[in-house]
Structure 1
Amino acid sequence: MRPRYNYSAITFLHPLVGDTSQADVKIFIVARLSTTDYHTTISPELLEAFITKSEGLFLWAETVLNHIDNTFNHAAELADIIAGASLYWTATETAAGKLEKLYEHILSKLEWGNHRFAEKYTIIMGALVTLREPLSRRGLAELYAPDGVTEDDVHQMCMRIHPLLQSYSKDDSSRPIRLLHLSVQEYLAQRAPPPFRIDYEVHNRRLVKLTLLAIRRELTPEKVPILGHSDGDWVWDVAEKEPSIPVLLRASLPEQLWYSIEYFDTHWRSLKEEADEEQTTLLCEIVVDNPRPLLEIVVSTRSMIDIALFQRKALPCGSLSLALARWRAKIYISLARCLEYAKRQADALPLLQEAVKLYAPHKDKGLDSTVELEFSTCMTWLGN
């Protein structure tokens, strides 16, 4: 009788990729195969050839097993992979080279003759390669909804490419989707041939647009009730107590909104070419036309953004009218005072400095007493 292994109880003290013993790899492979319903079709000779060909590379072995789980003839596919390795993977090739040959083999089995599949592959795999942090299939679908992507699209794609994913769950739509290993991302973005190749710059530009769209769409008082917490005329009264900054945890926001707030600036900074008109218009709507919601939610997640930098990117030239300068300075001062009250002086300082800069071009133009008071209040807070 074939021995059974408690696969879930086996742990290894080494990474999936690296120099490890053949004995450990053998334990891993046998235990993993014992959980399948096709393990009896793998002959002892084929099993031994598989173990030998793995050369102690756990990630290679795991990727092969994930792949053959979903093939029609498991033993034949395993034999093909091993035979392919003998043709393409010489003794001098690196582990990365072996993995990339395997990734190419897996991808070559996909439905490239179906243009709808190819289109969704480009979008969804492009997202998995380019995102700075993994999203669930629900969050990914919501973020990419403007591109016509549905949750079912994401699920169907993940089922097809799941050998290249870490433990994809068809039953849990909230589990983050992660590529199997950094080597998958590097292969797809740098060395994969068409049609597998993912153009990182194209997809990063796409994410700039999608994150800005998500912020514009989702960042509303109806969906985020804490918005507006810093507003009010209290800001110019030094005797008034500052309102406390509400604390927003990641789980309290829609996943696509949290990601967009956290990473839209990172994607923007990664652009290799100038932003296009659509991206600049979206940025202007968010950081120029009404910057308070973005600033409020950013400080509520205990992070910060260089709002002035992005305002200059959206509107790079010219000073503001006095009315617009006062309106924007009030936003900055209100958030800065809230941050000071929360003992986040380092985050408050740039906002105070920007508020003073907004008044500076107008200070010698005969300001009325109200505006002079606002300017002096800005200077006072900056000096404290």
Structure 2
Amino acid sequence: MAEIVAKNKLLDLSNGWPHDRIYALIQRASGLFIWASTACKFIDAYDPEQQLSILLQTKDMSNAESALDRLYITALESAGEWTDTSFSTDFRAIMGAVLVAKNPLTVAALNELLTFNQPLIHAISKLGCVLYANPIIHILHPSFADFLSNRARCKYDMWFIDLASHNFCFTVHCLDHLDGFLRYNMCSLKLSQTVHVEGASLPEGVSYACIFWVEHVCIIKDATSIAEKLETFLFKHLLHWFEAMAILKRSRDTIGILRHLHDWHMTVWPNNFHLQDLINDACRFAQNFIRIIEHHPLQVYASALPFTPINTTLYHHFHKISQNPQIVMGADTSWSNLLLTFSNIEMCHHLSFSHDGKQVLSGTMNGTFYIHDTTTGVEICTLQGHNKLIPSVSFCPNGSHIVSGSHDQTIRVWDIMTGKEIYALTDGHTDSVNSVAYCPKGQKIVSASKDCTILVWNPISQTIILHLQGNHQFNYAAFSPDGT
């Protein structure tokens, strides 16, 4: 409250304001910090004395959730004239978009995406006690979203935000906005220029729609409701979208985005084979050519499209002999079975996939090993610590750590996020470590060595919990599926 007094010096609030009335607020909070935090924002939104009076007119509520709901209802009632149909319609449109947005939106971005007859900032200013923009649009409190999206809690249709319905509407807004903007060479670039040239940027609303339209589409459960618009958009703007994502320096994201769309399409709309073929082609197009496209947006048309297999739906639909280069001889007719090539790897001695298949480890002869992204082929990090050949590496089941064994007689555990060594197990084997593995639940590590021993380790205490002696060197060790 002292901060509110300090921020509103022109209102001549007295020292110690609001005096004894603070106890009435405490009672209404019902011990709920969210209530207190939200009440302060409500009071500070306009005239503090007036807002406080409105708040104190509400009844005490013994239940914490009821107290919070009463606060939100009070805030909404004071926000505007709800008998005005246009006001309540604008409220639901704005609030619905804010609630379903995948990333916080600025007023400029939302103004682009929503079709309003008046500047959006004017509508937002009327909702000052429940919505504010500086410049990102925020709601009164995250719990306010739960309140608005629960019909039983918010009580009135004029306040209720059906998230599925508003997501559908926002998806349509995104696709319509992109349809009106995307085109060949939308930033008037030249092939001699790179993507980083000055002026190669896109409006905020277009940027948001490019990055998140698939996320919004994939929430829709009834594919028939968006079918025609989605198919029209992809067959018209797929390559323009690749160009836009290159301008945004988000080319590598297109692979995961398209795979998400592919999985959704196969689940909710598996019988549209024509569109399915195009999405399949788009996934391979991204995976094959993204490292070319990201260097220049126009390489979508100048390099990637001409080298697309000629019997694919994507090539047939988008390639125009009069506009695009053509491979005269030796063109591929279909996509290769080879998905990725990892380059710049020294002589590789061991490979291992992560449990989710999204990363691959490669151990080398000189003691260095690499982690690559299996979607993009990009090297994520290089791990150095061993000084001899690494014959074995293994991912922890939860994906947080890696264990490696080396001919330098050591076992090392690494943090995947940082690529840093966490610790080394050096006091176990007296000769080359040939094999390492995590148990299925990750609480144990097993190692096999040329010194004729198999050791089971506790990775937390870094101690040996089982020592098995043999007569010959061990080249491989693994746990049973149940880890016993």
Q: TM-score of the superposition, structure 2-length normalised?
A: 0.52
Task: Please say if residues 54 and 60 of structure 1, whose CA atoms lie closer than 8 Å, have aligned partners that are also in contact.
Answer: yes
TM-aligned CA deviation for residue 138 of structure 1: 1.9
Partner in structure 2 of residue 50 of structure 1: 25
Confirm or deny that 1:82 pairs with 2:60.
no
Pick aligned residue for 2:289 from 337, 362, 378:
337
Confirm or deny that 1:269 pairs with 2:218.
yes
Deviations 1:293-327 (A, max 9, x none): 1123335424113177388869813599xxx99xx
The one of the two structures with greater contact order (alpha-carbon pairs below 8 A, sep at least 6) is 1
Cα 1:54/1:292, change in 2 over 3 Å: same
Confirm or deny that 1:103 pairs with 2:72.
yes
Instruction: Name the CA distance, whole Å, in 2 between partners of 1:181 and 1:115.
Output: 25
Partner in structure 1 of residue 188 of structure 2: 225
Deviations 1:43-90 (A, max 9, x none): 522234335544665543343344345667x5465245235242xx10
Which AA in structure 2 matches 1:160?
A: K
Partner in structure 1 of residue 357 of structure 2: none
Partner in structure 1 of residue 240 of structure 2: 293
Task: Please say if residues 104 and 192 of structure 1, whose CA atoms lie closer than 8 Å, have aligned partners that are also in contact.
Answer: yes
Confirm or deny that 1:317 pairs with 2:273.
yes
Instruction: Name the CA distance, whole Å, in 2 between partners of 1:121 and 1:135.
Output: 16
Task: Please say if residues 286 and 294 of structure 1, whose CA atoms lie closer than 8 Å, have aligned partners that are also in contact.
Answer: no
Instruction: Name the CA distance, whole Å, in 2 between partners of 1:330 and 1:30.
Output: 57
Aligned to 2:330, the other structure's residue is in SS state: helix
Confirm or deny that 1:198 pairs with 2:167.
no
TM-aligned CA deviation for residue 149 of structure 1: 4.5
Instruction: Name the CA distance, whole Å, in 2 between partners of 1:211 and 1:249.
Output: 26
Deviations 1:252-308 (A, max 9, x none): 3211111111111111111132342xx333322332234211123335424113177
Aligned to 1:197, the other structure's residue is in SS state: coil
Cα 1:250/1:182, change in 2 over 3 Å: farther
Confirm or deny that 1:185 pairs with 2:145.
yes
Q: Structure 1 stretches of 5 or more lacking a match? A: 1-28, 170-174, 230-242, 344-350, 361-369
Instruction: Name the CA distance, whole Å, in 2 between partners of 1:266 and 1:248.
Output: 29
Task: Please say if residues 309 and 335 of structure 2, whose CA atoms lie closer than 8 Å, have aligned partners that are also in contact.
Answer: yes
Task: Please say if residues 280 and 314 of structure 1, whose CA atoms lie closer than 8 Å, have aligned partners that are also in contact.
Answer: no
Counting only pairs closer than 5 Å after superposition, residues 145-294 of structure 1 correspond to structure 2 as: 145=115, 148-151=116-119, 154-165=120-131, 168-169=133-134, 175-190=135-150, 191-194=153-156, 195-221=158-184, 223-226=186-189, 246=195, 252-276=201-225, 279-294=226-241
Cα 1:288/1:275, change in 2 over 3 Å: same
Q: Structure 2 stretches of 5 or more lacking a match? A: 296-303, 314-326, 342-484
Confirm or deny that 1:31 pairs with 2:27.
no
Query: Which segment drifts farther, 122-131 or 58-67?
Result: 58-67
Task: Please say if residues 4 and 44 of structure 2, whose CA atoms lie closer than 8 Å, have aligned partners that are also in contact.
Answer: no
Partner in structure 2 of residue 172 of structure 1: none
Partner in structure 2 of residue 132 of structure 1: 102
Instruction: Name the CA distance, whole Å, in 2 between partners of 1:289 and 1:127.
Output: 26
Which AA in structure 1 matches 2:235?
A: V
Cα 1:67/1:315, change in 2 over 3 Å: same
Return the index of the structure with the highest Cα Rg. Answer: 2
Q: TM-score of the superposition, structure 1-length normalised?
A: 0.64
TM-aligned CA deviation for residue 211 of structure 1: 0.6
Cα 1:122/1:314, change in 2 over 3 Å: farther
Higher strand share: 2
TM-aligned CA deviation for residue 142 of structure 1: 1.0
TM-aligned CA deviation for residue 188 of structure 1: 0.6
Cα 1:164/1:314, change in 2 over 3 Å: farther
Instruction: Name the CA distance, whole Å, in 1 between partners of 2:172 and 2:310.
Output: 30
Cα 1:245/1:317, change in 2 over 3 Å: farther
Cα 1:372/1:186, change in 2 over 3 Å: farther
Deviations 1:314-367 (A, max 9, x none): 9813599xxx99xx9699658723427979xxxxxxx99xx669559xxxxxxx
Aligned to 1:178, the other structure's residue is in SS state: strand
Partner in structure 2 of residue 25 of structure 1: none
TM-aligned CA deviation for residue 165 of structure 1: 3.1
Confirm or deny that 1:121 pairs with 2:71.
no
Which AA in structure 2 matches 1:182?
A: P
Task: Please say if residues 201 and 271 of structure 1, whose CA atoms lie closer than 8 Å, have aligned partners that are also in contact.
Answer: yes
Higher helix share: 1
Task: Please say if residues 137 and 155 of structure 1, whose CA atoms lie closer than 8 Å, have aligned partners that are also in contact.
Answer: yes
Confirm or deny that 1:379 pairs with 2:336.
yes
TM-aligned CA deviation for residue 377 of structure 1: 8.3
Cα 1:264/1:45, change in 2 over 3 Å: same
Which AA in structure 2 matches 1:208?
A: T
Task: Please say if residues 171 and 213 of structure 2, whose CA atoms lie closer than 8 Å, have aligned partners that are also in contact.
Answer: yes
TM-aligned CA deviation for residue 245 of structure 1: 7.5
Instruction: Name the CA distance, whole Å, in 1 between partners of 2:104 and 2:117.
Output: 17
Instruction: Name the CA distance, whole Å, in 1 between partners of 2:281 and 2:18.
Output: 75
Which AA in structure 1 matches 2:52?
A: L
Task: Please say if residues 41 and 140 of structure 2, whose CA atoms lie closer than 8 Å, have aligned partners that are also in contact.
Answer: no
TM-aligned CA deviation for residue 178 of structure 1: 1.4
Task: Please say if residues 130 and 203 of structure 1, whose CA atoms lie closer than 8 Å, have aligned partners that are also in contact.
Answer: yes
